Structure 1
Amino acid sequence: MCRVFLLFMIFFAACTTERMTNIEQLKKDVSAAENPSQRKQHIENYMEQVRRTGTPIIENDTTVIYLYQGPNTRVRILGDVTQWADDIEMENIPGTDLYYYRGVHPAEARLEYQLIVDDDPPIADPLCPYMVLNGLGSHSELAMPGYTYHPAFKAVRDGTPGDYARVTRHQLPIGIMGYTTEIYVYTPPEYDSLNAHHPTIYLLDGQDYIEYAHAPAVLDYLIKSGELEPAIAVFLAPPNRHLMAIPNRSTEYGMNPDFTRFMADEVVPFVETHYRSLTLPSERLVAGPSYAGLASAYIALRHPDVFGLAYSQSGYHSFRSNALIEAFRQARRESIRLYVDIGIYEEMVGLGWLPDDAINFLRANRQFKEVLTEKGYDFVYQEYPEGHTWGNWRAHLIDALSHFFPADNQSERTP
């Protein structure tokens, strides 16, 4: 969370009582300098303050300053605010090696970004101490003053990846899909010492949830802090992760009826044979982001007798000209509950490789909301000032889990 707390909205540097120089004042000081040595000194004094606070610098509730220092000819910003499609040119302060950009964002926004220096590949902002991991690399993170950062992520704001210490790996034999599948199973604290049964969370793109969303550690935190009832989590690994080779997540998650049968007829029975899972549909949640969000909603629609709960994070509901939305429209209303969320910076997802009529995930999710409303489904719909990133998904996974499995549910559960 690259923010300077509200105390610094009037430009006080962190851990000091000195007044921090305004960027406009810095430009005036540099312009008035009598020689290169004076200009350099003004920049050095300013950057000494900046390094104590980190960047971007919060000017007020909605305005921030991005900075980059280096002997370059061009620096640009690429990120959520540009929907990862365009870039924003940073301005050089003449006669110096300092570049800046004043951005205006929603007060509650949480945005990820990278810098393009000259024509090199995008990099994380070297002045920003906070990063979020994603499938294509590390993003720097800006959290605006109105954004609330969950304490479960306090220890990993530097971009530390999640580990597999709290999960057990299983390999499912060849079955419906025609190849083996890896799953990783998390059990809640005190699972071994208590003879209790628990609801089960099935997470598609499972390894990403472990490494980028720190889901096992987050579950530990939520359960121990009393925010969530104890639950089992099953992380499913798609084949050829992050590769174009076939099969892959696209072949599994693209409304594939074989994959829905695999989930209902092979994965769930395996888990419930080996773990103390509660067995009502209302005690099984299937969830995932993007393509996996599409798959999660489709699995619940096809197998409501198995999965009574579905969570779609930034779901690819524009897939095949809104095929999932039409499937919900045409089918009878099933006894499933859904949680659907989307970022407002998700109008150009996959630009250049998804069909042009499919890149507006925000519009498609709003259309999905309309159909769910028309059909009378029990659902929650949320929009956030965020983008198509794991920083978004890891934070709001907590919201959905707390909705479906609040801690006070535990007293009502029976095995």
Structure 2
Amino acid sequence: MCRVFLLFIVLFAACTTERMTNIEQLMEDLSAAENASQREQHIEHFMEQVRRTGTPLIENDTTVIYLYQGANKRVRILGDITQWADNIEMENIPGTDLYYYRGIHPAEARLEYQLIIDDDPPIADPLCPYKVLNGLGSHSELAMPGYTYHPALESVRDGTPGDYARVTQHLLPSGIMGYATDIYVYTPPEYESLNTHHPTIYVLDGQDYIEYAHAPAVLDHLIESGELEPVIAVFIAPPNRHAMAIPNRSTEYGMNPDYARFMADEVVPFVEKHYRSLALPSARLVAGPSYAGLASAYIALHHPNVFGLAYSQSGYLSFRSNALVEAYRHAPRKPIRLYVDIGIYEQMVGLGWLPDDAVNFLEANRQFKEVLTEKGYDFIYQEYPEGHTWGNWRTYLIDALSHFFPADIQSEQTP
């Protein structure tokens, strides 16, 4: 009599609607197998489904199975769920080359992770089809069932970098900084055919936004779909981006008054001389992530007559014992609007190389929210079940831009 085995507990790969069998069913089938050949058949059938849909496997709204197959001694998970500061041991299914870990996460979470195989450097999960670039390589991506991808990002989930086709590069000499800076300028669709002035976003860590956040392609999508007012975007690159040399992003973004003056007195005048940029503080947004988020909020505080809008993504507001938070607390309220967001998995950022009292970005951002509330600022504050990653920042950049520049705001026609 033919033995029918049903791997019917449907494993559901992240971001799909197809259900598959779960780990317990596989282990039951393996336990009931009469010989090695049957065990191999069960494993191969299981893995066929896994390879077709990918990992992690979603059992329900909050429970997932991380899975790895390989003849190794040890497999660990490193990622947002450990805040990149620790790792989680995966369990071997006895008598097989399969390793798994059951994780419980918020239903709306989007999480990035890597695997550590034996003692080798971390790698992306070979069974996960979704990748995110983060400067130091590729992370695998898990989107829980309650997470919704914006259509502008659906085509970039394979981990390929964004390109520079939609931006124009300029080398801007600076008398203030004493060196030249690369800037990359994006203009909206139909810019050349319309005699219109536009709001402008000034984006720190600019090359990262182009390559890792696909910002030019995202802007095209948002504008062409009618979600966003046509904007100009200026992507400002820090010096020595991939070199251990000074100057660098730390020397520029660490509450540097010279860099703030450079942005206000040199970058903005250059852009407004060469592009049809609206010359209004309320039409200029300065934005950036992490260290650049700190710098964005700092620049707006000190130059509100130039930048009336600021966006801090996962801002390094714990810098120098919350120095910027205290600066906002003690300064008169400025005529600026802010958008501040942070991931709940950002409580140990830079552990091991940042000062111990500076790694809790989440707490520092919460304190910033309290100060902004006390001072009466016009601001938006958001927390998300995400980590300190470009997958986070590329997603919520869309929300912030739509908040500041919704499509019903009209650009200014030139007389």
Q: What range describes the TM-score normalised by the shorter chain of this pair?
A: over 0.9
Alignment TM-score, normalising by the size of structure 1: 0.95
Aligned residue for 1:304?
304
Task: Name 2:374's counterpart in structure 1.
Answer: 374
Matches within 5 A, 1:213-362: 213-362=213-362
The reply on whether 1:102 has 2:96 as its aligned counterpart is no
Q: Report the equivalent of 1:119.
A: 119
- Matching of residue 392 in structure 1 with residue 405 in structure 2: no
Deviations 1:193-212 (CA, angstroms, capped at 9, x unpaired): 00000000000000000000
Output one character per residue of 1:70-110: Cα deviation in whole Å (capped at 9) or x when no partner. Answer: 11010011000100011111111111011111110000000
Q: CA deviation at 1:338?
A: 0.1
Aligned to 1:4: none
How far 1:39 sits from its partner (Å)?
1.9
1:205 match: 205
Is structure 2 residue 79 aligned with structure 1 residue 79? yes
Moved over 3 A (4+): 8-14, 17-20
Q: Which secondary structure state, in structure 1, belongs to the residue aligned with residue 410 of structure 2?
A: helix
Equivalence for 1:60: 60
1:95–1:10: structure 2 CA closer, same or farther, 3 Å change rule? closer
1:19 CA drift (Å): 7.4
Cα deviation for residue 36 of structure 1 reads 2.7
Equivalent position amino acid for 1:312 in 2: S
Taking the aligned partners of 1:53 and 1:169, their CA distance within structure 2 comes to 41
Report Cα offsets for 1:163-194 as digits up to 9, x if no partner. Answer: 00000000011310011100000000000000
Residue type at the aligned position of 1:296: S
Of the structure 1 ranges 269-278 and 50-59, higher mean CA displacement relative to structure 2 is found in 50-59
- Structure 2: stretches of 5+ with no match in the other structure: 1-7
SS in 2 for 1:386: strand
Q: Classify 1:126/1:191 alpha carbon distance in 2 versus 1 (closer, same or farther; 3 Å).
A: same
- Matched with 2:183 is 183
State the alpha-carbon separation in 2 of the partners of residues 373 and 49 from structure 1: 51
Provide Cα deviations, 1:145-168, integer angstroms capped at 9, x if missing partner: 111101111111111110000000
The question of whether the paired residues in 2 share the 8 Å contact of 1:62 and 1:144 is answered with yes
Distance in 2 (CA, whole Å) between partners of 1:11 and 1:297 is 44
Q: Cα gap change, 1:366/1:151 in structure 2, threshold over 3 Å: closer, same or farther?
A: same
Q: Please state whether the residue corresponding to 2:142 is helix, strand or coil.
A: strand
Q: CA distance change for structure 1 residues 207 and 13 in 2, over 3 Å: closer, same or farther?
A: closer
Partner of 2:35: 35
The one-letter amino acid of 2:321's match is S
The CA distance in 2 between the partners of 1:121 and 1:215, in whole Å, is: 30
Bigger shift: residues 210-219 or 149-158: 149-158
Distance in 2 (alpha carbons) for counterparts of 1:302 and 1:238: 20
Taking the aligned partners of 2:297 and 2:19, their CA distance within structure 1 comes to: 52
- The alignment partner of 2:184 has SS state of strand
Distance in structure 2 (CA, Å) of the matches to 1:124 and 1:348: 21
Q: Taking every aligned residue pair, what percent have the same amino acid on both sides? A: 86
Contact 2:241-2:248 at 8 Å conserved across structures: yes
1:26 is matched with which residue? 26
Following superposition of structure 1 onto structure 2, how do residues 125-204 of structure 1 map, counting pairs within 5 Å? 125-204=125-204
Query: Is residue 337–residue 379 contact of structure 2 (8 Å, CA) maintained in 1?
Result: yes
Counterpart-to-counterpart distance in 1, 2:12 and 2:311: 42
Q: How much has 1:18 moved relative to structure 2?
A: 10
What is the Cα deviation at residue 38 of structure 1?
A: 2.3
Q: Once the 2 structures are TM-superposed, how far is the Cα of residue 12 of structure 1 from its aligned partner? A: 6.8
Q: Is the contact between residue 339 and residue 381 of structure 2 (CA under 8 Å) also seen in structure 1? A: yes
Q: CA deviation at 1:29?
A: 1.6
Given that 2:199 and 2:232 are in contact with CA atoms closer than 8 Å, whether structure 1 keeps it comes out as yes
**Cα pair 1:36 1:95 within 8 Å, conserved:** no
One-letter amino acid matched to 2:172: L
Instruction: Identify which range, 290-299 or 39-48, moves more after superposition.
Output: 39-48
Change in Cα spacing, 1:336 to 1:390, as seen in structure 2 (3 Å) is same
Q: Could you say if the C-alpha distance between residues 149 and 18 of structure 1 is closer, same or farther in structure 2, counting changes exceeding 3 Å?
A: closer
1:89–1:352 Cα change, 3 Å: same
CA separation of 1:9/1:185 partners in 2, compared to 1, >3 Å: closer, same or farther?
A: farther
Partner of 2:3: none
**Is this contact kept in 1: 2:108–2:144, CA < 8 A?**
yes
- Kindly indicate whether the alpha-carbon contact (under 8 Å) linking 1:9 and 1:58 is maintained by their aligned counterparts in 2: no
Instruction: Give the counterpart letter for 1:320 in structure 2.
Output: R
Contact preservation (8 Å) 1:13, 1:52:
no
Please give the alpha-carbon distance, in whole angstroms, between the structure 2 residues aligned to 1:45 and 1:291.
48
Are residues 101 and 334 of structure 1, via their aligned partners in 2, closer, same or farther at CA, if it must alter by over 3 Å?
Answer: same
Matched residue, 2:364: 364
Does the C-alpha gap of structure 1 residues 239 and 19 become closer, same or farther in structure 2, counting only changes over 3 Å? closer
Q: How many residues align?
A: 406
Cα deviation for residue 22 of structure 1 reads 2.2
Which whole-Å CA distance do the structure 1 matches of 2:174 and 2:215 have between them? Answer: 27
